[in-house]
């Protein structure tokens, strides 16, 4: 499972012009599920997202988690995070999970974030989405449950 985590001042996701999720300060998380992922991968990433200390404390040091900073999370499914573009010009998505597994693990991830007590908004699984956000910093962190980076 892979995630791109961005610290944002605000973010929203829309489907067909209708907003499905909106947050003020917090984290925008793009989440991609691999074919060999399990609930353990989601638990690992949810814990990482919850505990990442990438918000400024009173001294201006990145020392606070999203919860410490009073933020929210917006989770957007993105199978293209599993793209393999090492060969040729057209990325291969063969490492991405089939939609049934991906949706289950995506929903499990969201539930794990909410169980931490964080407000969590979402996009719409398997929909063409428009995402708007203001990156704060910018701060962007790449996470991989297999610890590939």
Catalytic residue numbers, as ranges:
78-80
Burial 34-59 (b: 16+ CB within 10 A, else e): beebeeebbebbbeebbebebbbeee
User: CA geometry: angle at 51 spanning 48 and 77, to 5°?
Assistant: 45
- What is the rounded distance in angstroms from the CA atom of residue 120 to the CA atom of residue 51? 15
Neighbours of 33 (CB within 10 A): 29
């Amino acid at each position: 499972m892979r995630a791109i985590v961005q610290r944002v001042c605000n973010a929203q996701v829309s489907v067909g012009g209708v907003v499905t999720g909106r947050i003020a300060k917090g984290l925008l998380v793009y989440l991609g599920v691999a074919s060999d992922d399990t609930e353990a991968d989601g638990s690992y990433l949810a814990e990482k997202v919850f505990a990442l200390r990438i918000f400024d404390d009173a001294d201006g040091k990145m020392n606070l988690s999203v919860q410490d900073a009073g933020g929210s999370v917006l989770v957007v499914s993105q199978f293209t995070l599993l793209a393999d573009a090492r060969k040729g010009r057209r990325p291969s998505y063969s490492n991405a999970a089939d939609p049934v597994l991906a949706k289950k693990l995506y929903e499990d991830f969201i539930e794990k974030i909410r169980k931490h007590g964080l407000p969590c908004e979402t996009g719409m699984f398997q929909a063409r989405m428009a995402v708007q956000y203001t990156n704060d910093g910018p701060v962007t962190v790449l996470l991989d449950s297999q610890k590939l980076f």
